[in-house]
Amino acid sequence: MDNLKAEGEEFDARRDDAFKAVREEREYQDQAWDDVRTVGEYLVFMRHYLGKAEAALTENPYPQAEFESLDEIRKIAALGLAALEHNGVVHRK
């Protein structure tokens, strides 16, 4: 049981760190862009960065490929958050 608790705490710490990274990226985006974008524009940006993440996997050796892909995934997650902030939140039913 203690092992499961430790694994849960480790997962919570990783999740907190992931949310912190996305929050920091959102703060960067707010400073870099001063305008609100449409849902479609956010999707275009997200697809662009997804392409960069995929390219990083095919153009770089491990572990650099995963590091660079995760850097792009952080941006994609923050863009998704910005889309919800600016265009409305849809909650899971």
Across the chain, the runs of DSSP E, i.e. the strands, are none
For the segment 20-59, what is each residue's pLDDT rounded down to a tens digit?
999 999 999 999 998 889 999 999 999 999 999 999 999 9
Query: Distance (Å, rounded) from C-alpha 88 to C-alpha 19?
Result: 20
Domain boundaries defined on the chain: 2-87
DSSP state of 92: -
Distance (Å, whole) CA 11 – CA 14: 5
Task: Please answer whether residues 52 and 72 qualify as being in contact, where contact means their C-beta atoms are separated by less than 8 angstroms.
Answer: yes
Instruction: Quote the pTM value.
Output: 0.89
Q: What is the pLDDT of residues 51-85, one digit of tens each?
A: 999 999 999 999 999 999 999 999 999 999 999 99
Residue 89 has pLDDT above 70, yes or no: yes
